[in-house]
Structure 1
Amino acid sequence: MSIKSTLVTAAIGSSEKETAVGGAVAIVGATISTFLGGWDAPLKLLIFCMIVDYATGFLGAVKRNKVNSDVMFWGGIRKIVVLVVIGLAVLCDQMVGNETPVFRTLALYFYIGREGLSIVENLGVLGVPMPAFFKQMMEQLQEKGAAK
């Protein structure tokens, strides 16, 4: 097999089925990326935080012996809804003619912050050592939440 045929096979697949699936995945990925306003650093960070939050949440549930498929399912649904909100923010930016994505940026940073807090909580459940100011901040947030 020559280098040229190896490169072609790697690029488009070795069969029609593989090529069709690869093409379909590319089209779906490009469509979702466009709906979410492009594949930039803030969106990558949000997706990464979502994955880490889901994984650390699962590990925390395993540690506490509280794994619940219903909770995991709805956690995944919530993450999909967050992405829908990001898409809605993109549409709002387009509607008002913003050249810079103001609503999208606000939504992304808000959800990155929420995912980050959830990751810190999950790491606490897992017993990962954290700086004292993180622990104090989390205790204050928990107290404010309990007061409502």
Structure 2
Amino acid sequence: MIGDVNLDHLEAARFFLFGDVKFLHLLLLLMALDIITGLFKAWKNQNLWSRKSLFGYARKVLVLVVIILANVVDQILGLQGAVTYATVLFYIANEGLSIVENMAHLGVLVPTNLAKKLKTIDNSGDTLPEEIRKEFSTKKEDQ
């Protein structure tokens, strides 16, 4: 009887946190693959224990927080999972692109058009602190 009560609580917590999220298992698998390919990329670049990888791990946790938030919004507004479904699909695409980018850095052949677009994205040359500085800069250069 006590085991049943604990399972009921776990199921209630799972429903509250993630609802009936479609493709959540696929997203978690892609996150794991992205981490693995990212580790290989960092090993190849001799930068295995970088601060950037720690930020990457934190981002993965924050993605799950965003999905939980989307689920709560769905439940409050009675949208039957539409916001959560769209959020999970967005992050699935994002993880897939990240895996392909990591594979391209590792020398695995990727489609030519995709490789060109990834190189365009990668050639920004800004380090993370520079990107943050630019993002929060008070100067408005475009105005």
With normalisation by structure 1, the TM-score equals: 0.69
Please report how far the alpha carbon of residue 111 of structure 1 lies from its aligned counterpart in structure 2 after TM superposition: 1.0
* Cα gap change, 1:25 to 1:82, in 2 (>3 Å): farther
Please report how far the alpha carbon of residue 136 of structure 1 lies from its aligned counterpart in structure 2 after TM superposition: 2.2
* Cα gap change, 1:59 to 1:27, in 2 (>3 Å): farther
Please report how far the alpha carbon of residue 71 of structure 1 lies from its aligned counterpart in structure 2 after TM superposition: 3.3
Q: Which residue of 2 aligns with 1:74?
A: 55
Structure 1, gaps ≥5 residues long: 1-19
Q: How many residues align?
A: 124
Relative contact order, CA 8 A, sep 6+: which one is greater? 2
* Cα gap change, 1:121 to 1:33, in 2 (>3 Å): farther
Aligned residues: CA RMSD: 2.9
For residues 43-68 of structure 1, what are the alpha-carbon distances to aligned partners after superposition, in whole Å with 9 as ceiling and x for unaligned? 11111110000110011000110111
> Which protein shows a greater Rg?
1
Aligned mates of 2:11, 2:52 — CA distance in 1: 27
For residues 16-60 of structure 1, what are the alpha-carbon distances to aligned partners after superposition, in whole Å with 9 as ceiling and x for unaligned? xxxx8xx979965873465112363x2111111100001100110
Amino-acid identity (%):
33
Aligned mates of 2:29, 2:66 — CA distance in 1: 17
* Cα gap change, 1:71 to 1:136, in 2 (>3 Å): closer
Structure 2, gaps ≥5 residues long: 126-133, 135-143
**1:1-148 residue pairs with structure 2 within 5 A?**
31-32=13-14, 34-38=16-20, 40=22, 42-68=23-49, 70-99=51-80, 101-142=81-122
* Cα gap change, 1:136 to 1:30, in 2 (>3 Å): farther
Structure with more of its chain in helix, by fraction? 1
